[in-house]
Chains A and B, each alone.
Chain A
Amino acid sequence: METFMIIISGILFTIATYLILNKNFLRIVLGLTLFSHATHIMLISINGLKRGSAPLLGEHAESYTDPIPQALILTSIVISFALTALLLVLGYRTYIELGTDNMKKLRGESHE
């Protein structure tokens, strides 16, 4: 299961990177979102999966899944969400002000 999940996250990384290298702003943001999904999957998989029950003491289980990666990912989800939202509004403003969402056109003139 772990190897399988790591490979899936690898595939997500590949697609996310390809999207980030695109010149369309929206696709870059989509790529970044995919990238953070892949990272979360990688983080939780490296530690080993399905070893024990959910980290709730009410379960009275013999062993619990490691709660630390879960706490880290929870933090990460919120931060990447904040980032995505900010980037989207930035893209929106860029389009309103400059009239394009194409990264190639946002390069500016060569003399600058």
Chain B
Amino acid sequence: MSSLHLAILLPFVFVVIIPLLYKYTRAIHTGWIALSVPVALFVYFIQYFSIHEAVEPITVSFPWIPSIGIHFSLYLDSLSLLFALLITGIGSLVVLYSIFYLSKDRERLNFFYAYLMLFMGAMLGSVLSDNLMVLYSFWELTSVSSFLLIAYWYQRKRSRYGAQKAMYITMMGGFSMLLGFIILYVISGTFSIREIIAAGDSLTSHSLFIPAMFFILLGAFTKSAQFPFHIWLPDAMEAPTPISAYLHSATMVKAGVYLVARLTPIFGAQLEWSWTIIIVGIITLTMGSFNALKQYDLKALLAFSTISQLGLIMSLLGVGSLALNKGYAEHSLVFVGALVAGIFHLINHSVFKGSLFMMVGILDHETGTRDIRKLGGIIHLMPISFTLTMIGAFSMAGLPPFSGFISKEMFFISLIELTENTSSWAAIIPVIAWIASIFTFIYCMIIIFKSFTGTYHADRLERKPHEAPFGMLASPAILSLLAIALFFFPGLVVTSILEPTVKGMAPQVFAVHPDWHTHVTAWHGFSLELVMTIAIVIIGTFLYRRIEKWKGPVFELLPKRLNLFTLYDKSLITMEKTATSITKSYMTGSTTHYLSYIFGFLIVIVLATLFGTGAFRLDTSQDSPIEWYELMIGIATVIAAVFILFSTSRLMSIMGVGVVGFTVSLYFVIFRAPDLALTQLVVETISTTLFLLCFYFLPKMKANVESIRFKLSNAIIAIGVGLTLTLMGLSAYGYRLFEPIAEYFTNSYELAGAKNIVNSLLVDFRAFDTMLEIVVLFSAGIGIYTFIKLRYAGRNE
């Protein structure tokens, strides 16, 4: 147990402590207690952060299930540190914000902060784990805690729907990822990520390597809301706003990005990996930014913008992974630039998106609505909120002097380089991304100007808006300052985070180029990407000014019913209906049907085995001769049995079964089994009496003259069963694998003092059978007694 282990376990300890303290600390807001956790953890993690040099990786391990190689092993390098700082840093700000956002008296704060701490611990565990199984466990815990947080207001139907949807989709991805991890374990023999990376090229030749890759990618894509699994994120906006800011913009949705970045050294050299991520990322980017334009709810707009920005980061990681490919060895340093851009934008996005969500929360809190059709003209009432929103949105649009500008430029550079260095059809990718950036620009402008400028309609707002309290504005203000600081001083993160992270992601490349250093600056001269940005601003402004004219017609062109959201709903309903109808079709409640299935399987399986394995055999050479009277008894048995089938009354059926029973006891006489014959006679007599007794009480009116109706399906099954069992019996008779052990029991007189071998078998050699058989008889007796004696007390008599 090291301090790093304790750091991860600290939030889990608070999951227990917070509800316990809640009762006794009602005077203060529970958030203040919870705030201590992320702040303490942030201070703990910041000690590893130094501006001028790389972080020395730390490895600590604690055995959990050592027999199958599962250790609670943690690995802190720059990538993990970056995520740990984001989780704890933004976590602190979110908790601070939520203290002012959530009412102390109306909300169940003990649940809220317990879930939040659960999430924080799970997320920290995911990014710090070196063991795949431990990573998976924490990964699923983030899904569960996210589910709990989305449905925090569980009284609302939409919250429950959103939580369920997020759960289904991320759990599906999680299971697929687990499958991928298990395959990786099978290939490499270890769960440790570092050991798998060290195994290197020896794994890639395995036939299951590519399937494992796709299974894991599915997990990453569902968690990070990539196309077509993005549909859960807009519905997750039913969560309280601090949760949307924290989970669904800054941290949890980046778990997929983290996974891709972490496993790039393993899979990055595969072209399938790179191109899948690039294409999915670009589609997500474009689709997300385009759909964001359609939204009127600011949170929904931000949800689509998150989807779009995650697509951007993903595509950059995809381009960057080409650096590991042997086919592009001479351009590897060019592609590494994309990795730098991806990680840099990841930081920027967490900063400005966290801030934007908090600002939307403030707008909601102060005006009572998030609908941009109702908002407007509140710039004079809330000037600080306007400034902070503008910083966030301009950073997202990629404008100077905010950090988003730098990462947007680096994004364009990476895509242009992708076009120059790979196949010619990749030229389409920068064009698509450029168009997507225009959409991004437009929706950023919508966020700022539709909500703050224009005409003020006091009658549309539920409350009279005024500036938010200082405590609420503090968190977005800090994030906004960070967005500006990263523009002017990108060096803050370059040597400490970006360079070592990228070196860790592509170790094969830097083994060749050990002296590589990246250079991130705000100003990089007049170049194509700058022209692209200027064009975005000009075209974007032009389109934004005329948005009312083209927005309606353009979105009407798209078919309304045909989208992934309705497809998801429809498929859920169809699945449920199909399952119900399938179940109803065979679970009829009729014993005849169930017995038919059982007999049917018996016939199919036994006959298939009998003839499939060539076990069937007919050998009559060993038969003992048949006397004429034996033949007569046999025919009598068959006649009595067939008579049961054709008898019109049940009384005759009982007589028929009695005849069969008595002929069976005659057989026992012939087959030299006196004890059997005796027992059979007595039992048959009692049974027939019982049948008659029972018959006497059964309905008399029409039922006792009712004959058996002929049913073809039943007849076929019955003949099938009879044939199958006959063939089985004949085959068993034909085989004699070894001599019977009967010879031993002829010693029964010496061993047990009995001359009747059968009886000595029953009470000496195999007395256990007899004892339990007596128990059966006894139980049946008690059963019969209770059936007759005990009456259901609740009956209306």
A: residues with CB less than 8 A from B are 1-15, 17-24, 26-30, 33-34, 37-38, 40-42, 44-58, 64-68, 70-71, 73-75, 77-79, 81-86, 88-93, 95-97, 100-101, 103-104, 107-108, 110
Question: Given the known A-B contacts A30-B653, A84-B690, A92-B694, are A21 and B623 also in contact in the complex, defined by CB atoms under 8 Å?
Answer: no
Question: Given the known A-B contacts A3-B623, A17-B722, A85-B784, are A57 and B733 also in contact in the complex, defined by CB atoms under 8 Å?
Answer: no
A90, B372: Cα distance in complex, Å = 72
- Closest chain A CB from B760 CB (angstroms): 9
Structural contact, A11 and B641, CB atoms closer than 8 A: yes
Question: Given the known A-B contacts A44-B671, A46-B732, A50-B624, are A15 and B697 also in contact in the complex, defined by CB atoms under 8 Å?
Answer: no
Structural contact, B690 and A85, CB atoms closer than 8 A: yes
> B528 contacts the other chain (Cβ, under 8 Å)?
no
Structural contact, B758 and A67, CB atoms closer than 8 A: yes
A19, B642: Cα distance in complex, Å = 11
Question: Given the known A-B contacts A30-B654, A74-B676, A74-B762, are A95 and B589 also in contact in the complex, defined by CB atoms under 8 Å?
Answer: no
Contacts of A4 in B (CB 8 A): 623, 626, 631, 634
Contacts of B626 in A (CB 8 A): 1, 4
A28, B784: Cα distance in complex, Å = 18
Structural contact, B717 and A21, CB atoms closer than 8 A: yes
Structural contact, A89 and B787, CB atoms closer than 8 A: yes
A14, B723: Cα distance in complex, Å = 8
6 contacts between A and B (CB under 8 A): A1-B630, A10-B723, A18-B715, A21-B711, A21-B718, A70-B761
Return the contact of B679 from the options A15, A67, A74 (Cβ within 8 A).
A74
Stretch of B124-132, B345-353, B769-777 that contacts chain A:
B769-777
> B203 contacts the other chain (Cβ, under 8 Å)?
no
Structural contact, B642 and A55, CB atoms closer than 8 A: no
Return the contact of A77 from the options B645, B679, B697, B749 (Cβ within 8 A).
B679
Structural contact, A107 and B590, CB atoms closer than 8 A: yes
> B228 contacts the other chain (Cβ, under 8 Å)?
no
A52, B755: Cα distance in complex, Å = 16
Interface residues of B in 742-797 (CB under 8 A from A): 742, 745-746, 748-749, 755-758, 761-762, 766, 769-770, 773, 776-777, 779-781, 783-784, 787-788, 792
A11, B740: Cα distance in complex, Å = 28
Structural contact, B644 and A64, CB atoms closer than 8 A: no
Question: Given the known A-B contacts A27-B650, A40-B664, are A79 and B776 also in contact in the complex, defined by CB atoms under 8 Å?
Answer: yes
Question: Given the known A-B contacts A1-B630, A4-B634, A27-B653, are A15 and B641 also in contact in the complex, defined by CB atoms under 8 Å?
Answer: yes
> B730 contacts the other chain (Cβ, under 8 Å)?
yes
Question: Given the known A-B contacts A75-B770, A89-B784, are A108 and B694 also in contact in the complex, defined by CB atoms under 8 Å?
Answer: no
Structural contact, B719 and A86, CB atoms closer than 8 A: no
**By CB atoms of chain A within 10 A, which of B596, B620, B624 has the most?**
B624
User: With A2-B622, A4-B626, A17-B718 given, can you name 19 additional A-B contacts, CB distance below 8 Å?
Assistant: A1-B623, A3-B618, A14-B721, A18-B708, A26-B698, A42-B725, A51-B624, A65-B673, A67-B742, A67-B745, A68-B761, A74-B676, A74-B758, A92-B787, A92-B788, A93-B787, A95-B697, A104-B592, A107-B590
Q: Using an 8 Å CB-CB cutoff, how does the interface string of B342-361 with A read, 1 for contact, 0 for none? A: 00000000000000000000
Structural contact, B673 and A14, CB atoms closer than 8 A: no
Structural contact, B733 and A11, CB atoms closer than 8 A: no
Structural contact, B623 and A2, CB atoms closer than 8 A: yes
- Closest chain A CB from B87 CB (angstroms): 50
> B327 contacts the other chain (Cβ, under 8 Å)?
no
Structural contact, A8 and B661, CB atoms closer than 8 A: no
> B675 contacts the other chain (Cβ, under 8 Å)?
yes
Contacts of A77 in B (CB 8 A): 676, 679-680, 683
Structural contact, A86 and B783, CB atoms closer than 8 A: yes
Contacts of A18 in B (CB 8 A): 645, 708, 714-715, 718
> B339 contacts the other chain (Cβ, under 8 Å)?
no
> B68 contacts the other chain (Cβ, under 8 Å)?
no
- Closest chain A CB from B135 CB (angstroms): 46
Contacts of A47 in B (CB 8 A): 740
Number of A-B contacts (CB under 8 A): 273
> B674 contacts the other chain (Cβ, under 8 Å)?
yes
Structural contact, B644 and A67, CB atoms closer than 8 A: no
List the 9 shortest-distance A-B pairs measured between CB atoms, nearest first: A14-B722, A10-B726, A82-B780, A18-B718, A55-B757, A17-B718, A57-B755, A54-B672, A71-B761
Return the contact of B729 from the options A17, A22, A45 (Cβ within 8 A).
A45
> B512 contacts the other chain (Cβ, under 8 Å)?
no
Return the contact of B644 from the options A3, A19, A73, A110 (Cβ within 8 A).
A19
Structural contact, A3 and B634, CB atoms closer than 8 A: no
Structural contact, B691 and A95, CB atoms closer than 8 A: no
Structural contact, B599 and A17, CB atoms closer than 8 A: yes
Instruction: Please give me the residue from chain B that is nearest to A97 by CB atom.
Output: B792
Contacts of A38 in B (CB 8 A): 725
A95, B591: Cα distance in complex, Å = 17
Instruction: Please give me the residue from chain B that is nearest to A101 by CB atom.
Output: B698
Contacts of A9 in B (CB 8 A): 725-726, 729
A85, B686: Cα distance in complex, Å = 9
Structural contact, B776 and A73, CB atoms closer than 8 A: no
Question: Given the known A-B contacts A17-B721, A21-B717, A82-B776, are A88 and B742 also in contact in the complex, defined by CB atoms under 8 Å?
Answer: no
**By CB atoms of chain A within 10 A, which of B623, B668, B687, B726 has the most?**
B726
Instruction: Please give me the residue from chain B that is nearest to A58 by CB atom.
Output: B755
Contacts of B770 in A (CB 8 A): 75
> B562 contacts the other chain (Cβ, under 8 Å)?
no
Structural contact, B660 and A78, CB atoms closer than 8 A: no
A101, B697: Cα distance in complex, Å = 11
Question: Given the known A-B contacts A17-B721, A68-B740, are A78 and B776 also in contact in the complex, defined by CB atoms under 8 Å?
Answer: yes
Structural contact, A66 and B740, CB atoms closer than 8 A: yes
- Closest chain A CB from B621 CB (angstroms): 10
Structural contact, A37 and B660, CB atoms closer than 8 A: yes
> B432 contacts the other chain (Cβ, under 8 Å)?
no
Question: Given the known A-B contacts A13-B721, A34-B641, are A85 and B624 also in contact in the complex, defined by CB atoms under 8 Å?
Answer: no
Return the contact of A95 from the options B618, B634, B699, B725 (Cβ within 8 A).
B699
Structural contact, B672 and A37, CB atoms closer than 8 A: no
Structural contact, B755 and A30, CB atoms closer than 8 A: no
